[in-house]
Structure 1
Amino acid sequence: MLPPSHPLRPRPALFRLLARTLLLGGLATAACDASARAGRPAGAVSDSASGTVSPGSARPAQAAVPAEAKGAEATAAALARNDGPAPAIRALYVNRFAAQSRKRMPHFIALADSTEINALVIDMKDEFGLNYHSADPKFAQNAGTMGKVRDVKAMLDTLKAHGILPIARIVVFKDSVTALLHPEWSIRREDGSIWRDKKGTPWVNPYHRELWDYNIGVAEELARMGFGEIQFDYIRFPEPYASLPKQIFPGADGMSKPDAIAAFLKEANDRLDKLGVRATADIFGLVTTVNGPLEVAQWWEKLAPVTDVLLPMVYPSHYVRGSFGIPVPNAEPYKVVNISISRARERDAKLGITGGEHVRPWLQAFSLGKPDYTAEEVRQQKQAVYDAGYDGWVLWHPGSKFEPFEAALERGELVSHKKEHPTPAPKHVE
Structure 2
Amino acid sequence: MWKKTVSALAVGTAALFIFSSEGHAENDSTQELQHKLTGLKSMNLPDRLARFVHSSDREFTYPEDGVKGIYVTGNSAGGERFNSLVNFLDETELNSMVIDIKEDNGYLTYRPDEDSPFYDIAQNYIGDPEQMFDVLEEHNIYPIARIVVFKDSVLAEKRPDLSFQENGEVWKNGRNEAFVNPFLEEVWEYNLDIAEEAAKMGFQEIQFDYVRFPEGFENRDEDLEYDVGKYEGGDGDNIHRRVNAVNDFVAYAKENLEAYDVDVSVDVFGYAATVEYAPGIGQSFLGISDNVDVISSMIYPSHWTSYFGIDKPDLHPYEITKEYAKVENELLSELEDGPVSRPWIQDFTASYLPDGDWQPYGKEQVEDQIRGLKEEGITEFLLWDAGNSYTEGVNYSP
Once the two structures are superposed, the pairs formed by residues 140-219 of structure 1 within 5 Å of their partners are: 140-143=119-122, 146-189=123-166, 191-219=167-195
- Partner-residue secondary structure (3-state), 1:262: helix
Shift, 1:96, TM fit: 2.2
Q: Determine the C-alpha separation between the residues in 2 that align with 1:96 and 1:232.
A: 16
- Partner-residue secondary structure (3-state), 1:222: helix
- Partner-residue secondary structure (3-state), 1:265: helix
Q: Which residue of 1 aligns with 2:372?
A: 384
Shift, 1:161, TM fit: 1.7
- Partner-residue secondary structure (3-state), 2:368: helix
Q: Which residue of 2 aligns with 1:236?
A: 212
Correspondence for 1:362 among 332, 344, 358: 344
Q: 1:297 aligned to 2:282?
A: yes
Q: 1:58 aligned to 2:49?
A: no
Shift, 1:91, TM fit: 0.1
Q: Which residue of 1 aligns with 2:108?
A: 130
Shift, 1:268, TM fit: 0.9
Q: Determine the C-alpha separation between the residues in 1 that align with 2:79 and 2:388.
A: 11
Query: Would you say the 8 A contact 2:111–2:124 is kept in 1?
Result: no
Q: Determine the C-alpha separation between the residues in 2 that align with 1:272 and 1:308.
A: 12
Q: Determine the C-alpha separation between the residues in 2 that align with 1:89 and 1:167.
A: 10
Deviations 1:317-373 (A, max 9, x none): 1111x311112111111111111122111111112235xx61100000001131111
Distance 1:159 1:57, change over 3 A: farther
Q: Which residue of 1 aligns with 2:324?
A: 340
Shift, 1:378, TM fit: 0.1
Q: Determine the C-alpha separation between the residues in 1 that align with 2:65 and 2:253.
A: 20
Q: Which residue of 2 aligns with 1:394?
A: 382
Q: 1:116 aligned to 2:93?
A: yes
Letter in 1 for 2:118: F
Q: Determine the C-alpha separation between the residues in 1 that align with 2:273 and 2:98.
A: 22
Correspondence for 2:360 among 372, 375, 386: 372
Q: Which residue of 2 aligns with 1:88?
A: 66
Q: Determine the C-alpha separation between the residues in 2 that align with 1:334 and 1:120.
A: 24
Shift, 1:267, TM fit: 1.1
Letter in 2 for 1:138: P
Q: Which residue of 1 aligns with 2:36?
A: none
Q: Which residue of 2 aligns with 1:275?
A: 260
Shift, 1:243, TM fit: 8.2
Once the two structures are superposed, the pairs formed by residues 320-331 of structure 1 within 5 Å of their partners are: 320=305, 322-331=306-315
- Partner-residue secondary structure (3-state), 2:88: helix
C-alpha RMSD over aligned residues: 2.3
Query: Would you say the 8 A contact 1:92–1:120 is kept in 2?
Result: yes
Shift, 1:387, TM fit: 1.1
Q: Which residue of 2 aligns with 1:26?
A: none
Deviations 1:80-122 (A, max 9, x none): xxxxxx97100011012211212x1111111222211110001
The percent identity for this pair of structures is 32
Correspondence for 1:100 among 48, 69, 78: 78
Q: Give the unaligned 5+ runs of structure 2.
A: 1-20, 25-52, 234-239
Q: Which residue of 2 aligns with 1:30?
A: none
- Partner-residue secondary structure (3-state), 1:323: coil
Shift, 1:306, TM fit: 0.6
Q: Which residue of 1 aligns with 2:38?
A: none
Distance 1:365 1:220, change over 3 A: same
Q: Which residue of 2 aligns with 1:47?
A: none
Distance 1:94 1:407, change over 3 A: same
Query: Would you say the 8 A contact 1:240–1:246 is kept in 2?
Result: no
Q: Determine the C-alpha separation between the residues in 2 that align with 1:120 and 1:345.
A: 25
Q: Which residue of 1 aligns with 2:232?
A: 253
Distance 1:39 1:300, change over 3 A: closer
Correspondence for 2:270 among 285, 293, 296: 285
- How many pairs were matched up? 333
Once the two structures are superposed, the pairs formed by residues 410-429 of structure 1 within 5 Å of their partners are: 410=396
Q: Determine the C-alpha separation between the residues in 2 that align with 1:38 and 1:234.
A: 16
- Partner-residue secondary structure (3-state), 1:283: strand
- Partner-residue secondary structure (3-state), 1:279: strand
TM-score for the superposition, normalised by structure 2: 0.78
Query: Would you say the 8 A contact 2:182–2:245 is kept in 1?
Result: yes
Q: Determine the C-alpha separation between the residues in 2 that align with 1:57 and 1:383.
A: 41
Letter in 1 for 2:344: W
Q: Which residue of 1 aligns with 2:200?
A: 224
Q: Determine the C-alpha separation between the residues in 1 that align with 2:199 and 2:216.
A: 34
- Partner-residue secondary structure (3-state), 1:93: strand
Farther off after superposition, 260-269 or 109-118: 109-118
Letter in 2 for 1:58: S
